[in-house]
Structures are given as structure tokens and as C-alpha cells.
């Protein structure tokens, strides 16, 4: 029979790797709670239209990367990201009526039909936050601070925050027009993707990773437009006060005018957090402000800001998690007695296993020394005397104690 294999671009998270994921999740809960965020869990599939409208139909995500299927005449899509789903839920559950800010976080799998490579999968995982209801730059600063704090809690201190402001739809129109104008003579030399985006989403061109396009953007007359300060006074004020907050908080950042982000919904603040240790897929976190999205999806006009981090990429930057040993492994020829002792200790909160298949004493001892801190020996003598021999597997020290003192011995 042929063996069925895992689908290309997806991966099992095996028991030996699960500890690393649990570390990411536990730290997320711990750190995000300090800032008042509460977890939200939305469905993994949604109406396709949610992403078409929410992520934007000029994006790669919507145009090329969605897993879409039909069921009962409805078009459904596996979520490629979770901001759209969270916004849908925010609107549907009337969260705009709650006093602002509403702070939410999530974690879970996302699905994008991309070319699998290091740091890029088709099913991958994100942890993310969204804050609704605050237009002031203090909110942008808080979500960025939160990202930095979370990364620090994981031991990641040397990542770079890149920052830019995309202005508002009004001031951006002019900038878009200028970018198009200055790139017009180069149109034939742009890559196919850039040519396709030129009309609909010209800002996205700046983000192109193709070397020949990058070289074009380096030309002085084009750089002059890219580096120009196009944003209006209010947007400039918002951006500069965000930087004042970050300076005050000691968050280091570099400004990058080429940072435009792939999604349509951003305005004003956009940011990414990058590592030099990730090769070409070097972004661990991407986010920004999306003040028009709630309204675009049919809700009340509500400003919002948030980010998402790639959990696979986070894990690849972190040291492996050592598997935790059992507190005790019971070595005995009486499964009945061993089982009873195991239950007593488990009831007291200890991690305990025993041999379920009548293996030889020596085999059981071997297993104990591989998996546990203590071997709990329950031989015939011990059973008759209601005692247990407790062997510290690190020091090889062994003592025989009354059965009701085992717990005590494990805690020494
Ligand atoms: P990239 O430029 O790397 O494609 P993106 O702009 O598409 O990123 P976002 O949609 O902002 O990414 O997602 C936030 C984070 O999720 C990224 O910074 C990255 O760490 C992670 N991520 C995105 N796509 C994938 C993927 N296909 N596989 C693994 N991680 C991913
Ligand atoms: Mg992408």
C-alpha cells in the first residue's frame, strides 16, 4: 500500500517540538495579559468575500494564495491571516459599544498557497494582537512596545524594528501618482508582478524583492520621490509623536521608506520587526494601523492598529526546549501495586509512569534512568513492608522510605 504523506508546505508539530510551541503560547498569554489583551478565537474558515474585502483584492494573498472551496453554494476560504476574521467578529458582536480600547489577541494556523521554502509554509502559525478604538499614536506605540516586550520575554533582544508612515488615503493619492509618474519611463524594465501592480497598487512596487526592480528604485530621480515627505500635516504629526513615544520608551527603530506592507488596509503607521539570522525570510512581525477596515467591512468607523508574528520563524530563532523529565518512574513486577502508587502520586500532582507490559526489572530501570528524575522501586520486599526504595537517578543515592513518605522524598 502506498503511504499517505503530509501535504507539501505543511508540517507536523511532533511531541519533541511541542515544548517550543507551548513556550511561545505561554509567554504570549503572560505578556499580553499585562497590557490588558484578551484572547479571541475565530473560525479557521470564513466567507471568501471577507478576505476579498478585508485583505484587499490587489494583494497577492487574495489573488494567488487563498485556499478557497465551495460548500452548499457558498464560497469559503481558509483564513490566510486573522485580522479580517477578528474585525468581522468585532462588528458582529457589537464590540464597538464596549469602552475603548478593545484589546484582543489570537494565535493559530493560517493558510497561504505560496512557494514553500525555509521560513515559508502553506500552513503556518501566527500570534497577533489588534487594538480597536484609539486613533492617537499612543496606541501604535503600545502595540509596538508589546511586540518588543514579547520578543524580549522570549530572549530575543537584538531584532530591528523598521518603521514607516503611509499617510492617509488623501495624502497617499498624490504620492501614488508621483511614484507612477517617475516609474513610467521604466515600466518596460519592471518585473511582471510590478507591471501588474503599477495601476492598482503602485506603492506595493517599492516592496519588490526582484534585484532588477530594486536597482531601478535606487536611481536618484526615483529615490528623490521615494524619500520625499509626502504625508500631510496631521499624518506627519501622528508619525512624529509615535517616534517621541518610542524614543521615550527606549524602543530602537530604523525608518524605512520602502516599507509598504503587502496588505491593502494599512494607513499611517506600518512596521516590521526583522532578524539578521533568518536568511531571506527575515521578518518575524508585521503590522500597522488600519483605520478604515472596520467601516469597510460594514461596522462603525473605528480606528485600529495591530500586528502578527510568524511562530515558525520565532521558533527558528530560539534555542530548543529540553524535554521535561518525569518526577518518577516506578520499577516493579507488580503492575497492580505500581498502578496504585502511580495514581497516588499523580493525584498529588507528580508526573509518574510505570511499566505497563511486564518488562524485566533491568529494562524498567533503564527506562527510568532515561526518562525520570527518580526510580521508585517497588519489589516484593518493599510491597510486603509497605515501603518504596527511592533512587535519585542523578546522584545514584538510594533510600528506602515508608510508602506515605515517597512524595516527601521526591520533593527533596
Ligand atoms: P513576508 O514578506 O515574509 O511574506 P507578509 O508581509 O506576507 O510576510 P504578514 O502577512 O504581515 O506577512 O504576516 C506576519 C508574519 O507572519 C510575517 O512577518 C512572517 O513572520 C509570518 N509569515 C507570513 N507568511 C508566512 C508563511 N507563508 N510561512 C511562515 N510564516 C509566514
Ligand atoms: Mg507574504
* Among 54, 86, 281, residue to substitute to test ligand 1 (most atoms within 8 Å of Cβ): 281
Domain ranges of the chain: 15-168+231-317, 326-411
Q: Judging by beta carbons within 10 Å of its beta carbon (0-12, 13-18, 19+), is residue 165 exposed, middle or buried?
A: buried
The binding-site residues of ligand 1, defined as CB within 6 angstroms of any ligand atom, are 81, 112, 114, 119-121, 124, 126, 262, 281, 283-286, 308-310, 312-313
Alpha carbon of 123 to ligand 2 centroid (Å): 13
We find that the CATH architecture of domain 326-411 is 3-Layer(aba) Sandwich (3.40)
Helix count (H) and strand count (E) of the chain? 16, 16
Closest atom, ligand 1, to C-alpha of 283: 18
* Mean pLDDT, residues 83-89: 98
Instruction: Say whether 23 sits in a helix, a strand or coil.
Output: helix
Inter-CA distances, 29 with 143, 160, 286, 307, Å: 15, 23, 19, 16
Torsion angle (degrees, nearest 10) of CA 106, 68, 63, 261: 10
Alpha carbon of 124 to ligand 1 centroid (Å): 9
The dihedrals phi and psi of 33, each to the nearest 5 degrees, come to -65, -35
Summarised one tens digit per residue, pLDDT across range 110-151 is: 999 999 999 999 999 999 999 999 999 999 999 999 999 999
Helix axes 15-34, 137-153, angle to 10 degrees: 140
* Among 9, 113, 121, 310, residue to substitute to test ligand 1 (most atoms within 8 Å of Cβ): 310
Task: Please provide the CATH number assigned to the domain covering 15-168+231-317.
Answer: 3.30.930.10
- Please give the Cα distance from 257 to 225 (Å, whole number): 10
The 3-state DSSP composition of the chain as helix, strand, coil percent (nearest 5) reads 45, 25, 35
In this predicted structure, what is the pLDDT of residue 205? 87
Q: Which residue has the higher pLDDT, 276 or 41?
A: 41
* Among 108, 116, 283, residue to substitute to test ligand 1 (most atoms within 8 Å of Cβ): 283
Alpha carbon of 262 to ligand 2 centroid (Å): 7
Place of cell 509626502: 230
- The pLDDT confidence band at residue 339, using thresholds 50, 70 and 90, is very high
Q: Judging by beta carbons within 10 Å of its beta carbon (0-12, 13-18, 19+), is residue 268 exposed, middle or buried?
A: buried
- Per DSSP, the residues of 150-161 read HHHHTT----EE
Are the folds of 15-168+231-317 and 326-411 the same? no
In this predicted structure, what is the pLDDT of residue 226? 86
Summarised one tens digit per residue, pLDDT across range 372-395 is: 999 999 999 999 999 999 999 999
* Mean pLDDT, residues 6-25: 96
Summarised one tens digit per residue, pLDDT across range 263-303 is: 777 899 999 999 887 777 789 999 999 999 999 999 999 99
What are residue 93's DSSP bridge partners? none
Q: What is the pTM of this model?
A: 0.92
Q: Do residues 103 and 38 make contact, with C-beta atoms less than 8 angstroms apart?
A: yes
Residues 6+ positions from 322 with CB-CB distance below 8 Å: 19
Amino acid at each position: 500500500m502506498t503511504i499517505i504523506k503530509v501535504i507539501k508546505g505543511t508540517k507536523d508539530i511532533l511531541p519533541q517540538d511541542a515544548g517550543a510551541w507551548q513556550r511561545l503560547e505561554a509567554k504570549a498569554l503572560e505578556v499580553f495579559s499585562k497590557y490588558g489583551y484578551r484572547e479571541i478565537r475565530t473560525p479557521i474558515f470564513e466567507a471568501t468575500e471577507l478576505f476579498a474585502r478585508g485583505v484587499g483584492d490587489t494583494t497577492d494573498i487574495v489573488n494567488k494564495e487563498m485556499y478557497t472551496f465551495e460548500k452548499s453554494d457558498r464560497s469559503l476560504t481558509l483564513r490566510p491571516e486573522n485580522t479580517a476574521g477578528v474585525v468581522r467578529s468585532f462588528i458582529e458582536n457589537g464590540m464597538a459599544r464596549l469602552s475603548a480600547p478593545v484589546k484582543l489577541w489570537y494565535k493559530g494556523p493560517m493558510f497561504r498557497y505560496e512557494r514553500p521554502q525555509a521560513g515559508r509554509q502553506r500552513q503556518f502559525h501566527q500570534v497577533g494582537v489588534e487594538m480597536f478604538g484609539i486613533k492617537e499614536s499612543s496606541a501604535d506605540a503600545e502595540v509596538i512596545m508589546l511586540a518588543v516586550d514579547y520578543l524580549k520575554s522570549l530572549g530575543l533582544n537584538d531584532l530591528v524594528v523598521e518603521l514607516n508612515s503611509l499617510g492617509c488615503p488623501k495624502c497617499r493619492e498624490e504620492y501614488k501618482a508621483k511614484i507612477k509618474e517617475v516609474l513610467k519611463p521604466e515600466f518596460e524594465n519592471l518585473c511582471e508582478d510590478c507591471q501588474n501592480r503599477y495601476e492598482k497598487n503602485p506603492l506595493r512596487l517599492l516592496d519588490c524583492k526582484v534585484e532588477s526592480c530594486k536597482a531601478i528604485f535606487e536611481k536618484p530621480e526615483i529615490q528623490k520621490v521615494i524619500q520625499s515627505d509626502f504625508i500631510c500635516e496631521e499624518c506627519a504629526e501622528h508619525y512624529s509623536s509615535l517616534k517621541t513615544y518610542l524614543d521615550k520608551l527606549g524602543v530602537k527603530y530604523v525608518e524605512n521608506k520602502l516599507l509598504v506592507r503587502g496588505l491593502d488596509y494599512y494607513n499611517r503607521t506600518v512596521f516590521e520587526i526583522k532578524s539578521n539570522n533568518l536568511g531571506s525570510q527575515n521578518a518575524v512581525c508585521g503590522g500597522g494601523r488600519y483605520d478604515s477596515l472596520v467601516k469597510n467591512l460594514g461596522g462603525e468607523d473605528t480606528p485600529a492598529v495591530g500586528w502578527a508574528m510568524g511562530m515558525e520563524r520565532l521558533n527558528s530563532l530560539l534555542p530548543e526546549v529540553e524535554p521535561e523529565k518525569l518526577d518518577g518512574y516506578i520499577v516493579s513486577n507488580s503492575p497492580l501495586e505500581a498502578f496504585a502508587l502511580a495514581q497516588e502520586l499523580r493525584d498529588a500532582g507528580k508526573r509518574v509512569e510505570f511499566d505497563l507490559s511486564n518488562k524485566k526489572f533491568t529494562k524498567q530501570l533503564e527506562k527510568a534512568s532515561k526518562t525520570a528524575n527518580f526510580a521508585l522501586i517497588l519489589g516484593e520486599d518493599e510491597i510486603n513492608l509497605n515501603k518504596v526504595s527511592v533512587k535519585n537517578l542523578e546522584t545514584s543515592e538510594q533510600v528506602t522510605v515508608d510508602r506515605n513518605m515517597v512524595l516527601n522524598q521526591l520533593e527533596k
